[in-house]
């Protein structure tokens, strides 16, 4: 069966202080943004887009949708996120097949998930 969908391209987090968020995510990702404007800050994370958009007020946040960013070591990266000021949301756990997941909330209450999936392939 064919699908018109080409896969994940961009995840956007709404933030009340885009400059502070740009600094925080630059530390988390160990890279500066490739696109940096007052209306949008974009990071290229291994071909996927993590975007920040300013929000005049803190929008209602929901945890019903979580984007998981691939990492080699979930526990190590979970601890690094907490050290940078993230809040615990889902502690690291194996969910089967050697797949590990965890999630934190960034300083703006967005859920930021991480995953190690040894079975994942872009092809």
Which two tokens mark 1? 């069966």
In this structure, are residues 89 and 111 in contact, taking their beta carbons and an 8 Å threshold? yes
**Averaged pLDDT, 94-108:** 95
Q: How many helices, marked H, and strands, marked E, lie in the chain?
A: 2, 8
pLDDT of residue 123: 66
Instruction: Flag whether pLDDT at 63 surpasses 90.
Output: no
**Averaged pLDDT, 87-108:** 96
CATH number of 66-123: 3.10.180.10
11-48 pLDDT, tens digit each: 999 999 999 999 999 999 999 999 999 999 999 999 99
- 28, β-bridge pairs: none
- Please state the domain extents for the chain: 7-56, 66-123
| pTM for this predicted structure | 0.85
pLDDT of residue 64: 67
pLDDT of residue 59: 64
pLDDT of residue 85: 97
pLDDT of residue 58: 67
**DSSP character string of 80-101:** HHHHTT-EEEEEEEEEETTEEE
CATH number of 7-56: 3.30.720.120
């Amino acid at each position: 069966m064919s699908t018109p969908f080409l896969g994940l391209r961009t995840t956007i987090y709404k933030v009340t202080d885009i400059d502070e968020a740009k600094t925080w995510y630059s530390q988390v990702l160990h890279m500066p943004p490739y696109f940096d404007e007052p209306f949008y800050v974009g990071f290229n994370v291994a071909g996927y887009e993590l975007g920040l958009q300013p929000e005049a007020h803190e929008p209602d946040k929901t945890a019903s949708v979580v984007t998981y960013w691939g990492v080699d070591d979930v526990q190590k990266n979970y601890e690094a996120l907490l050290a940078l000021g993230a809040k615990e949301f889902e502690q690291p756990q194996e969910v089967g097949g050697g797949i590990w997941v965890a999630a934190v909330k960034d300083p703006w209450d967005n859920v930021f998930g991480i995953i190690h999936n040894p079975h994942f392939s872009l092809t």
